[in-house]
Structure 1
Amino acid sequence: MHFLRETVWVLVGLPLIVLTRRRFPLTTLLCCLLAAHALVLAVGGHYTYARVPLGDWVRDGLGLDRNPYDRFGHLMQGFVPAILVRELLSRTSPLRGSRWPAPLTVCVCLAFSAVFEMFEWAAAVIGGQAADDFLATQGDVWDTQWDMFCALIGATLSVLLLSRLHDRQLGALAASGRR
Structure 2
Amino acid sequence: MNDRIQAEILKLKADAIGVVFTGFITHARVEPPAMLTGEIWGHVCADGFGNFADGHRIETSDISEIHSRGESLWITTRSGSDYGILSFAPLGWTYFADLYKAHLRLDHQVPGSPIWHMALSPEPIPRLARKPRERPSREPESSSAEVLTRNLLRPEENTKYMDQMEVFVKKTIETLERNGLKTFKPRR
More strand by share: 2
Instruction: Pick the TM interval, shorter chain.
Output: under 0.3
Structure with the larger helix share: 1
Q: Which has the higher contact order (CA 8 A, sep 6+)?
A: 1
Larger radius of gyration: 2
